[in-house]
A = this chain, B = another copy of it.
């Protein structure tokens, strides 16, 4: 049988009341050290385990936070969750984890579960599919502390932790320019997500800084997948003026681009430069190794939890916490082989081939 020692059992054995036992266990200031010691010893002796359920019901605090991610299988989110859980645990919080599989339906289901579980706060990375944010709105109405990480939305005024997507994209694009690439394309992601929109903005800004005209035909409306990258290459090679570099919105898209270019026997780097975003763990091991923008995933998780703790403290009217609306992490540039110096243009390469054929 599973044990069921309660504070009443401890109280009875010590000739105290359950109230005193409860206070002793919670280190209430007005309980004498002697009884505290007595109670705690008896508690361990009886292998008492505090019933958090009952405690939560009475106190209204669960010390549990809900975490919503698209999928734990994606390295990026596993890493963020790692950061979140570490910090949560050391703050005495437990985390309830739900995955959306990028669908709004599961996102709604997760929020309902959290509401029902009376979590003290929620950390979420919005699903790709989500366009209607009313379920998040509902959380705000109910005054439930909420922090977005990575995937955010600006319509809702939700505090968030993100990497500086704009800056990362800007630097990535600038790096391609400085490496000598002249016609730089972009494989973009779903534009309803601010994350991806910011990266597009950064891309454009870098071009503009160097007085390069932003051409709409060089922006392929893609997705974060290998397939999207491949499709982008197929598309780019239908253009009359083929690009010689790609800044992909994410590493998997970048990988697709590399695969597509390899199929076409394009030399990377040299003929073609590629840079991605996310610094997924395969990047440094493929060939050419993929240049990318590191998003400080673990730190992102820690910061997100920290911000949520502040919101929770604020809600409980504990003062002294200046509320930050947004934490922006520095993108860490990881320059590898795929984006290093341009040596020869595709046109030149083609001409060479033509010459070779003629000779």
Contact = CB atoms under 8 A, between A and B. Distances in A.
Interface residues of A, number: 53
B106 A98 contact: no
Nearest to A290: B285
Contacts of A94: 96, 98, 113, 117
Contacts of A89: 98-99, 106, 109
Contact of A143 (B2, B86, B118): B2
Contact of A82 (B47, B72, B142, B287): B72
Contacts of A287: 286-287
A222 to B, nearest CB: 18
A117 B53 contact: yes
Contacts of A3: 142
Number of copies: 2
Nearest to A288: B287
Given A3-B142, A49-B115, A286-B286, A78 B85 contact: no
A144 B3 CA distance: 10
A282 B255 CA distance: 11
A106 B90 CA distance: 10
A118 B56 CA distance: 12
B57 A54 contact: yes
A240 to B, nearest CB: 31
B99 A96 contact: no
A98 B85 contact: yes
Contacts of A282: 281-282, 285-286
Interface of A: 1-3, 47, 49-54, 56-57, 62, 64, 71-75, 77-79, 81-82, 85-86, 89, 94-99, 101, 106, 109, 112-113, 115-118, 138, 142-144, 255, 281-282, 285-287, 298
12 contacts: A2-B142, A52-B118, A53-B56, A53-B117, A72-B81, A73-B79, A81-B97, A86-B101, A89-B98, A96-B96, A285-B286, A286-B286
